[in-house]
Amino acid sequence: MRARLAPFFALLVAFGVAFSVAFGVVCFNASDARADDAKPSSSGENLTSHGFFSLPMLFGVDTALAGNEVGTGFLWGFRPEYVFAWATGEEHPLGFGIGPYAEFSGSTGTSQIWLGGGATVVGYFGMVAVAASGGLEIDWLHAAPNASPVVGVFVGVRNAGSDECCDFPFGLRVDYHPPLGPLPSVIQVSAQVDWILGLGVGFFGAIVKGMRD
């Protein structure tokens, strides 16, 4: 089974590195060209619109519950998101956002590869953010792919006050797949870390800014 998962993991790494390189350059160019689009909030403060892209990796464990049988494995994957956000223009702003996400993850223990996507809603509270999401994912390791709904919660750090077009989520997320047809119920607990995109944006963005100077 691990031999079957190895090419999948290799493709995920290649995708993450290649995408972060390209997006690092685009992100810094877009941040310089962004126009201010502000609207008053209920408290009288202006809300500034942002478009935040993130490409966090997922590291954690998942547990499949099928009757009296329990399977546990190591979880690893990517979860790209794009959030349309509105936040106060402070150093530690308050705000909210909504947007789509995609997820590509695999488990070495429960023998599942999940591919899918959905929508996420984010609340920004200074440097801390809470996000709830829901979507549909397909388990592609079974003989016939099976679709399953998924709901999840993220709690961690996301910077809505950033001048860049990335909010770099870093925190803990919990996802739940209810039992459906031949698929067991699955609970996933993982660290959501956007270090690949962060490195790509920082490194290649610095190169772009250096070339401009």
The CA distance from 105 to 9, in Å, is 9
Predicted model pTM: 0.72
Task: Provide, for the chain, the percentages of residues in helix, strand and coil under a 3-state DSSP scheme, each rounded to the nearest 5.
Answer: 25, 50, 25
What pLDDT score does 117 carry?
A: 93
What pLDDT score does 181 carry?
A: 76
Q: Where are the domains of the chain?
A: 2-212
Per-residue pLDDT reduced to its tens digit, 42-76: 444 577 888 888 888 898 999 888 766 778 889 88
Per-residue pLDDT reduced to its tens digit, 73-123: 898 888 988 888 888 876 678 889 999 999 988 888 777 888 899 999 999
What pLDDT score does 190 carry?
A: 93
Higher confidence at residue 40 or residue 146? 146
Q: Which amino acid is at 9?
A: F
Q: Express as a percent the part of the chain with pLDDT over 70.
A: 63
